[in-house]
């Protein structure tokens, strides 16, 4: 590393030395789907780690060695609870102990689709109260370009400390994908961009100590925009196949077979698959952060907004296909027993953030259906925001439950589900995930959605 910039600041040199000898305490703010895996990465790299969260129950579970994120397993959390180099707290004053503070807080949308920056602002204000010389603050939450420099930095500088000299600020977007087996936090390349050269160098030094590949970029704004591009790319391409799905269905063409055929081309094509709508924290939300920010600069992101409209319309398409399937049996949706299979937003995880299953269940109830659900990973759906009234428990996937349902509606294709039982005993299957392809033809009626 070039010595020029690092030699200008004693706090920078001290912090760099602590990072290199693994004595720097790493504070993680927000112990959810992003923060806890990141804490694990630094813990396994040999750093003392301090986890902070406002949820006292999470803190208590970690101290007891119990995992609340099942895809991370129980062994890691049990290891944490017994380690001297780990502590967790809901007391923000404890963050004064940290040499590097990494913010992993939510960035949801408000009521009218606008960015909700309250978590970033409040966590920045919290850090400002304990900020001292020699600390590095890194933001990982997905947000619009300019947040780190324009929103976080001014709050931190109210302390009178000088950024780039007394303390350091960077942006490094999370790239978590819960449940993925071929990559982990440690192996997914990490982008890093600081608000100045020294901050970039220190953040690069920090993350390189725990992550296999770190990619420094020019500044925080490049890193912020790159994260949005990654998610917008997925959103737009998913919207494309979602738009094609009803078109090809009208032509009696199977969209999944079309995508599988197209992906045999070794260049110029990447396979994306349709579904019942978008879920997770990233794809349904993040593109709108750029849409909102673009208006400030006089631009209208029509492509992004159109993709959002298409993807958001898919739960309604699933309901229409369910109605079609029931009509073929001479039954209305009102009063019919619908067993929704799969509540999580993606296969083999317990993550229900922004799951399209919630909107589908809401629409089913509004149409007067008798709704139940089965999900081996989600025993309780406690509701979320506008779905709070739909609190439900998963029912066992028994032969009788399948037979008793007028329609089995597949929303999530978990590998643990007994698809053969559905194929053998269901009267009607409405499949939004192509989950039954290996069991076709089934004994009952089958409708793709």
Q: How far is CA 290 from CA 190, 285, 305, 338, 415, in A?
A: 21, 10, 10, 38, 35
Q: What's the confidence (pLDDT) of residue 97?
A: 97
**pTM of the complete model:** 0.91
pLDDT > 90? residue 69: no
**Residue indicated by tokens 């030395």:** 17
Sheet holding 136-139, edge to edge: 86-89, 49-52, 26-29, 100-103, 136-139, 168-171, 190-194, 214-216
CATH for 255-448 is 3.40.50.720
Give the pLDDT confidence of 342-378 residue by residue, as tens digits: 999 999 999 998 999 999 999 999 999 999 999 999 9
Q: What is the mean pLDDT of residues 99-110?
A: 94
With pLDDT > 70 as the criterion, what percentage of the chain qualifies? 97
Give the pLDDT confidence of 245-293 residue by residue, as tens digits: 999 999 999 999 999 999 999 999 999 999 999 887 777 788 888 998 9
228 HSE (CA, 13 A, CB side): 25
More confident residue, 170 or 353: 170
What is the chain's mean pLDDT, rounded?
94
Region of 429 on the Ramachandran plot (φ > 0 left; ψ -120 to 50 alpha; else beta): beta
Q: Give the CA angle between residues 419, 424, 428 to the nearest 5°.
A: 85
Rounded to whole angstroms, how far apart are CA atoms 272 and 261?
Answer: 12
pLDDT > 80? residue 224: yes
pLDDT > 70? residue 4: no
Residues forming beta bridges with residue 337, ordered by sequence position: 370
Range with lowest mean pLDDT among 15-19, 87-91, 194-198, 349-353: 349-353
Residues acting as catalytic residues: 282
Confidence of residue 5 (pLDDT cuts 50, 70, 90): very low
* 294, 229 Cβ separation under 8 angstroms: no
CATH topology of 3-218 equal to that of 255-448?
Answer: yes
Q: What's the confidence (pLDDT) of residue 155?
A: 98
Q: What's the confidence (pLDDT) of residue 2?
A: 46
Q: Under CATH, what is the fold of the domain 3-218?
A: Rossmann fold (3.40.50)
Backbone angles phi, psi at 184, to 5 degrees: -135, 175
Q: What is the mean pLDDT of residues 139-153?
A: 97
- Rg of the chain, C-alpha, whole Å: 24
Q: What's the confidence (pLDDT) of residue 8?
A: 52
Q: What is the mean pLDDT of residues 311-320?
A: 97
* 209, 21 Cβ separation under 8 angstroms: no
pLDDT > 50? residue 1: no
Residue 215: its H or E element: strand 214-216
Q: What are the sequence ranges of the domains in the chain?
A: 3-218, 255-448
């Amino acid at each position: 590393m070039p010595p020029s910039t690092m030699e200008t600041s004693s706090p920078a040199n001290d912090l760099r030395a602590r990072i290199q000898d693994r004595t720097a305490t790493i504070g993680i703010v927000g112990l959810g789907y992003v923060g806890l895996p990141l804490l694990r990465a630094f813990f396994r790299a040999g750093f003392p780690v301090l986890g902070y969260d406002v949820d006292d129950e999470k803190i208590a579970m970690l101290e007891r060695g119990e995992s609340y994120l099942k895809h991370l397993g129980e062994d890691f959390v049990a290891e944490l609870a017994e380690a001297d180099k780990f502590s967790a707290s809901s007391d923000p004053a404890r963050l004064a102990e940290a040499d590097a503070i990494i913010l992993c807080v939510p960035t949801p949308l408000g009521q009218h689709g606008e960015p909700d920056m309250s978590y970033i602002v409040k966590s920045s204000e919290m850090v400002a109260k304990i900020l001292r010389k020699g600390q590095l603050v890194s933001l990982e939450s997905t947000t619009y370009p300019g947040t780190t420099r324009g929103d976080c930095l001014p709050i931190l500088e109210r302390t009178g400390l000088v950024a780039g000299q007394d303390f350091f600020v960077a942006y490094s977007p999370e790239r978590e994908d819960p449940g993925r087996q071929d990559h982990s936090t440690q192996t997914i390349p990490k982008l890093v961009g600081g608000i100045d050269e020294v901050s970039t160098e220190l953040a690069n030094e920090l993350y390189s100590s725990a992550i296999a590949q770190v990619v420094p970029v020019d500044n925080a704004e490049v890193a912020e925009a790159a994260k949005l591009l990654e998610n917008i790319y997925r959103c737009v391409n998913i919207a494309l196949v979602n738009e094609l799905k009803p078109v090809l269905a009208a032509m009696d063409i199977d969209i999944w077979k079309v995508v599988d055929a197209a992906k045999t081309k070794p260049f110029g094509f990447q396979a994306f698959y349709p579904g019942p709508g978008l879920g997770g924290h990233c794809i349904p939300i993040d593109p709108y952060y750029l849409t909102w920010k673009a208006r400030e600069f006089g631009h209208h992101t029509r492509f992004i907004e159109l993709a959002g409209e298409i993807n958001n319309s898919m739960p309604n398409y699933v309901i229409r296909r369910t109605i079609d399937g029931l009509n073929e049996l001479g039954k209305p949706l009102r009063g019919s027993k619908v067993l929704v299979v799969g509540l999580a937003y993606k296969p083999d995880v317990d993550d229900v953030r922004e799951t399209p299953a919630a909107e589908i269940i809401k629409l089913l109830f509004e149409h007067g259906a008798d709704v139940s659900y089965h999900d081996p990973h989600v025993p309780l759906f406690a509701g979320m925001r506008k779905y709070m009234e739909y609190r439900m428990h998963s029912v066992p996937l028994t032969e009788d439950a399948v037979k008793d349902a007028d329609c089995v509606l597949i929303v999530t294709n978990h590998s643990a589900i007994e698809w053969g039982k559905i194929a053998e005993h269901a009267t009607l299957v409405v499949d939004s995930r192509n989950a039954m392809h290996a069991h076709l033809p089934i004994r009952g009626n089958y409708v793709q959605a």
